[in-house]
Homo-oligomer: A and B are copies of this chain.
Amino acid sequence: MLLRNVFLLLLLTVAAVAPARADDGYRLWLKYDRIADAAARQQYARSAQFIASAGTSPTLQAASGELQRGLSGLLGQAVPVVGTAGSRTGGVVLRVDKQASANGQPLKSEGYRLFSEKNNLVITGRTEVAVLYGAFALLRQVQTRQSLAGVNFSSNPRIDYRLLNHWDNQNGTIERGYAGSSIWQWYQLPEGLAPRYTDYARANASIGINGVVINNVNASARYLTAEYIGKVAALAGVLRPYGQRVYLSVFWAAPKVLGGLPTADPLDPQVKQWWAAKSEELYKAIPDFGGFLVKANSEGEPGPQDYNRNHADGANMLAQSLGRHDGVVMWRAFVYKAGSGDRFKQAYEEFQPLDGKFDPKVLVQVKNGPIDFQAREPFSPLFGAMPKTPLVLEVQLTQEYLGFATHLVYLGPLIKEVLEADTYAKGAGSTVAKVVDGTVDQHALSAIAGVANIGSDRNWTGHPVGQANWYAFGRLAWDHTLSSAAIAQEWTKMTLTTEPAAVRTLTDMLVKSRNIYVRYTTPLGLHHIMGESIHFGPQPWLAKAGRPDWTAVYYHKADSIGLGFDRTATGSNALALYKPEVQKQWGNPQTCPLDYLLWFHHVGWNQRLSTGRTLWNELATRYYTGADSVLWLQKQWAQVRPQLDPALHADVTARLQTQRKEALWWRDACVLYFQTYARQPLPAPLAPPTRTLAEVKDLVNLYQLR
């Protein structure tokens, strides 16, 4: 007894003397801090007395190592890794079993199953990486305080290729990155392999991401040189044990600038030969190289159209260059030619006619909406319109149009909204999710891509809640049937706190945050009214730019009569790109959901909406209630202070202050600007802004200065 008391006393002493370490966010959701509740800890410990893994491969070592690290941390005691369980019980057993099945069905190659056997907890799957995924699933059970008793569940990914797209440049900057510079240190590679690469791979593996496009779609040719292929191969070596393949964005004109050829025409034999040789070189260095991502003939990038060839000509040539290798080509549909009508329709017009023309190794990568990652967009009409072509859904995690790393916006609901949108391609229930996962059209390939929000900031994502977006993307890529609220709760428990009331408060904040952002920036279906080029702050007055469709007035079309872009038959008729069921929902301004109203209709200022308010009154009210909802976010956040790490809490507290300030910029800018067209006062009880439109313009126009 004496000894035991002394022990406790001393442990407490040591804890008190140890410097208080602020949580800098580096560990993401893989925190593994000791469970505070001793009873719960002991309960878990009974099921985790050892980790049995006979595997010596890097992947199985990663799995047992992660379990050891995680369980030792969570339980506050060392958990040994042993070769085999033998007759021992009460441990975790890792088992690769080529016959592994669940519910009478063989598991997919990446699917895993957890079950109890002879008082051990078995993690099994047909492949090593499946076991690694299962290990993370077990840790998640403990991190979210689920019971391990009688555990028996399995999980298969619904989409095969679950990819992060890094818009990282060769010089270390990140296009639309708000969390520091690139985590890839090209000048140190291949000799220098930053420990951070491994932590990045762990994080990805924990949520099932299995591929990484490491460079910007506005690609440098540099990555295709022997020197850089060596660097990429070194990175691939770090990611491989964690089940992630490396992909490259390619610069279409590479055969010219690197190969010295006179052309990059995809039908030119020398060009074909150059790409085939380049693919061979890549696979020699990186046997599991994933393939290519291409942005061609888009925003100034070269492409096959420079030679009067079409996207399919280009994509197919690249696909054929891969030869016998297990790689794919993801060809982006983000195109909009200057001066050819409603930008909403242009990707559709270029790509839909090519359906059926693509090589089986080609996937066409489509942004969630028809314009460009706005805070809310209707789903792209390409989904459901190219049944013969596997489509990659591209969503943006980096908050280019969602307040950079300042605004708290949890993207789970945004991603779910598009996944659940019904294209009616093969009747009701043909959701975007089912188009993308291949079930609607029975595709052999399926893929989803998230434009990464990851940078060199210590906490990876700038805003601590940005981590939740990385997390939610991975979880939904694996299983799009998960609810965004459940994912938010999971992330909160793993990352912030497990205290139930605080978990509820935080989950509620996360779930509501995106609609709040929409309200104070682009309510009722407004879109593309942000600052030119930088995409920061409001600039609805932007009327001149390099192209009409880079302005704001092109999109909101405010005039003395009303507001919004008529995309019905009386306007651009973009609505006709959708199936009749969708047209019916959105085509009538009386029944069109208010969230999409101004996407499709030019609505009179005094037209009464389903809320009972006129358009002007509803618009103004939403700007005001949206901006005031940030006060609510602040209040909720203040409430959970006792449960959160002080440094992390202070960080988000400051960001919320800035968010409130900038929400007021948006509110005042947009209300005052649109008021010059609506020519009527704000409805009671809204108090007019205390500044003039000129003053708000000055505030945000400065972000246009070099």
Contacts and interface: CB of A to CB of B under 8 A. Distances in A.
- Kindly state the interface size class of chain A when it binds its partner: 35 or more
Contacts of A705: 170, 220-222, 225, 257-258
Interface in A217-232: 220-222, 225, 227-228
A192 B655 contact: yes
Contact of A654 (B78, B191, B404): B191
A22 interface: yes
A181 B178 contact: no
A647 B192 contact: no
Contact of A14 (B14, B187, B227): B14
A227 B11 contact: no
Nearest to A406: B187
A406 B195 CA distance: 17
A661 interface: yes
A658 B191 contact: yes
A699 interface: yes
Nearest to A257: B705
26 contacts: A7-B10, A10-B10, A10-B11, A10-B14, A14-B14, A170-B705, A172-B180, A173-B181, A187-B404, A188-B406, A188-B654, A188-B655, A191-B655, A191-B657, A192-B654, A192-B658, A193-B654, A195-B647, A220-B705, A221-B706, A222-B702, A222-B705, A225-B702, A227-B699, A227-B702, A458-B458
A457 interface: yes
A640 B364 CA distance: 54
Interface in A176-207: 178, 180-181, 187-188, 191-193, 195
B404 A702 contact: no
A405 interface: yes
A652 to B, nearest CB: 9
Contacts of A192: 651, 654-655, 658
A3 interface: yes
A456 interface: yes
* Residue in A191, A405, A406 whose Cβ sees the most chain B Cβ within 10 Å: A191
A135 to B, nearest CB: 19
Contacts of A458: 458
A17 interface: yes
A657 B188 CA distance: 9
A706 B647 CA distance: 40
A687 interface: no
A1 interface: no
A292 to B, nearest CB: 18
A6 interface: yes
Contacts of A220: 705-706
A192 B660 CA distance: 13
Contacts of A225: 702, 705
A513 B341 CA distance: 62
Interface in A651-706: 651, 654-655, 657-658, 661, 699, 702-703, 705-706
* Residue in A3, A456, A705 whose Cβ sees the most chain B Cβ within 10 Å: A705
Given A3-B6, A225-B702, A705-B221, A187 B180 contact: no
Nearest to A76: B17
A460 to B, nearest CB: 12
A26 to B, nearest CB: 9
A697 to B, nearest CB: 12
Contacts of A456: 180-181, 456-457
Nearest to A699: B227
Contacts of A654: 188, 191-193
Contacts of A706: 220-221
Given A6-B6, A170-B705, 14 more contacts: A10-B10, A10-B14, A22-B195, A180-B181, A181-B456, A187-B405, A187-B658, A191-B655, A191-B657, A191-B661, A192-B655, A221-B705, A225-B705, A227-B702
